[in-house]
Amino acid sequence: MAQLYYRYSTMNAGKSIELIKVAYNYEERGKRVMTLVPSVDDRYGVGLVTSRIGLQRQATLVNEDTNILEMFMERNREAPVDCVLIDECQFLKKHHVEELVEIVDSFEVPVLAYGLKNDFRNELFEGSYYMLVYADKIEEIKTICWCGSKATMVARTIGGNIVKQGEQIVIGGNEMYVSLCRKHYNDGRIGPVKDPDRR
């Protein structure tokens, strides 16, 4: 039975490389994969899923008004689609997630969505909220804070300092965001304190 999977983590946990690996495994067995990415995230180029270790995969863009169900049905008519993969699913809208649910329930095709859960203010994205509501399986992909504890927060930084106000969606990478444990997100430390007496 097909299911809707939501695989979430903070940044730098390997979500994109996991998606690329799943796509490779399907295609190696002769299966057809539909890969999607929200158009808002163009850090590494338009229509690309890109991992920080350098692997890339072409993807179809999803805009705010894209109907994913209609797109899927058109592709499925050309040749059966065996799996739908989505990167950066936190940027999806409610209707997108509902369309993914319809793909799973009406066409018995698994959908695997990868993305962040909470933003730099520690609030849910719209896509994350509805993935938590609708997903059949919710799985965490773990990574660590600089201290070695599990990272659960994404902090936005400006000039080496954490900021907790501003627009929810500002696209950036390691120069702007850091994954932290709850303790260091709350106390604002993005790295170990340097001892001025040590050289």
CB atoms within 10 A of CB 152: 20
Output Rg (C-alpha) for the chain, integer angstroms: 18
* Cα 105 to Cα 93: distance, rounded to the nearest angstrom: 19
Structure tokens at 27: 């295609």
Q: Please identify every residue annotated as catalytic.
A: 88
Phi/psi at 190 (5° precision):
-100, 5
* Cα 85 to Cα 67: distance, rounded to the nearest angstrom: 15
Listed residue (199, 198, 187) closest to 147, CA to CA: 187
Q: Measuring CA to CA, how many Å separate 173 from each of 11, 50, 112, 140?
A: 9, 12, 23, 20
Residue 34 · residue 75 · CB < 8 Å: yes
User: Please, what's the b/e burial string for 161-174 (b: 16 or more CB within 10 A of its CB; e: otherwise)?
Assistant: ebeeeeeeeeeeee
